[in-house]
Chain A
Amino acid sequence: MSDVHTTVDAKGLSCPMPIVKTAQAVKTVPAGELIEVLATDPGSVKDFAAWTRSTGNAIVEQSEDDGVYRFLIKRS
């Protein structure tokens, strides 16, 4: 597993900010690199699944720890 290129800390932000901040970050990340997203919005689970499906980016890891959702996304 290669290193995380960029981390998006969206903890405490409500919908749609985790996705908006990630979509912004994606613009600055080269293809194939990894973006780590941390969010506390419970809606982010379904939102990131839908957003990656629609944009072609891929969730390669996903976990939840004490209310913090972590997504590792590979930039398409």
Chain B
Amino acid sequence: MDDKPLAIVLFSGTDDKLNAAAVMASGAAALGRPVHIFLQYWGLDAFRSDRIKNDHGLAAEAGAEGKAAVDALRAEGQAPWYETLAMAKELGNVEVQACSLSMDVLRITEDDLDDLVDGTEGVTAFYIAVGDGQILFI
């Protein structure tokens, strides 16, 4: 097993990128790797408890064809990203932290956030938590 932590800076708030982050996190968790997710801007906004289950749209490059493909997967019952992430948290050591600057910019308090979010931290605490682990920016 590889114990080096994987860090994901989740900046984007569209469903495709949220799902990509949830997939990367759960794959690492299945291998026993600690995962640290740092939520910034639109990624953070998607974790508001009153918005998390909304349709967050897709990245611009998806186009109509991409949207049709994603809709078809959904119709087949593919788990939404927040359920995949919840499974990853159940399975392994997956921590989700909100970026304190983004909280200020978007006027979000911890009470506004879904229970998937474990807390708030600044970028320094993030770097210390990650140590020499890999960082993905999504």
Given known pairs A12-B76, A14-B73, A16-B23, the reply for A54 and B31 (CB within 8 Å) is yes
User: Is A15's CB within 8 Å of the partner chain B?
Assistant: yes
Interface residues on B, range: 20 to 34
Q: Total A-B pairs in contact (CB under 8 Å)? A: 41
Residue of A14, A19, A24 near B27 (CB, 8 A) is: A19
Q: Is the CB of A20 within 8 A of B26?
A: yes
In the docked arrangement, what's the CA distance between A54 and B78, Å? 27
In the docked arrangement, what's the CA distance between A16 and B2, Å? 18
User: Is A51's CB within 8 Å of the partner chain B?
Assistant: yes
Interface SS, A side: helix
Q: Is the CB of A51 within 8 A of B31?
A: yes
Query: In the assembled complex, which residues on chain B have CB atoms less than 8 Å from the CB atom of A56?
Result: 1
Interface size on A, residues (CB 8 A): 15
Residue of B1, B31, B78, B92 near A14 (CB, 8 A) is: B78
Query: In the assembled complex, which residues on chain A have CB atoms less than 8 Å from the CB atom of B26?
Result: 16, 20
Residue interface bits A3-34, CB-to-B below 8 A is 1, else 0: 00000000011111101101110000000000
Query: In the assembled complex, which residues on chain B have CB atoms less than 8 Å from the CB atom of A51?
Result: 30-31
Q: Is the CB of A19 within 8 A of B76?
A: no
Known: A20-B84, A20-B87, A22-B30. 10 other contacts (CB 8 A): A12-B76, A12-B77, A16-B23, A19-B30, A20-B29, A23-B91, A54-B32, A55-B31, A55-B32, A56-B1
Chain B contacts to A: CB under 8 angstroms: 1-2, 23, 26-27, 29-32, 73, 76-79, 84, 87-88, 90-92
Chain A contacts to B: CB under 8 angstroms: 12-17, 19-20, 22-24, 51, 54-56
